[in-house]
Structure 1
Amino acid sequence: MRTLLAASVGLAVLLASASQAQTLYLFDPALAVTEHSGPAVGPCGYPNGPVNSFFPVGPPPCLAPVFGPFLPPAGDVAIDPTTDLVYVTNGAMILACTAAGATIGWAIPPVPGVTGLAVMAPGFLWLTDGFVYGAVPLAAIACPGGPAPFAIGPFPVPIGPIFAGPIGDLDWEGATGSLIGCDGFGIVGSFLPGPLPAIGPYGFFPMPPVPCPLGPGLVGIAFDKALPGSGTFFVTDGVFIQRALPGGLPAPPTFYFPGLCIPIAAALPIAGLAYAGRQITYGAGADNTALPAPVIGSIGQSYLGNPAFTVTLAGSIPGSNALLRTAFAPACPAPLVRGVPFYLAVPRFLGASGPRFLTTNALVGAGGGAAYVAAIPPTLAPGVTFYLQWMILTPVSFQVTAGAAFTTILP
Structure 2
Amino acid sequence: MKKLSLLFAVTVLALTTLACGFTFPRTSMQDSQSSNAPTPVLIPTAVNLPPAFQGDVTDMGNNLVDLYQRASPGVVSIQVLTQPGSGLGSGFVYDKEGHIVTNYHVVEGATDLEVDFPTGFKVRGTVLATDLDSDLAVIKVDAPADQLVPLPLGDSDQLQVGQPVVAIGNPFGLSGTMTLGIISAKGRTLDSMRTSGEGAFFSAGDIIQTDASINPGNSGGPLLNLRGEVIGLNRAIRTTGMTTDGEPVNSGIGFAISSNIMRRVLPVLIVEKKYDYPYLGISAMPELSLIAQEALGLKYSTGAYIVEVVPGGPADKAGLRGGTTATNMAGLSKGGDLIIAVDGRPVRVFGDLLSYLMTSKSPGETITLTIVRDNKEQEVKITLDKRS
TM-score bin (small chain): under 0.3
TM-score when scaled to structure 2?
Answer: 0.27
As a proportion of its length, which structure holds more helix? 2
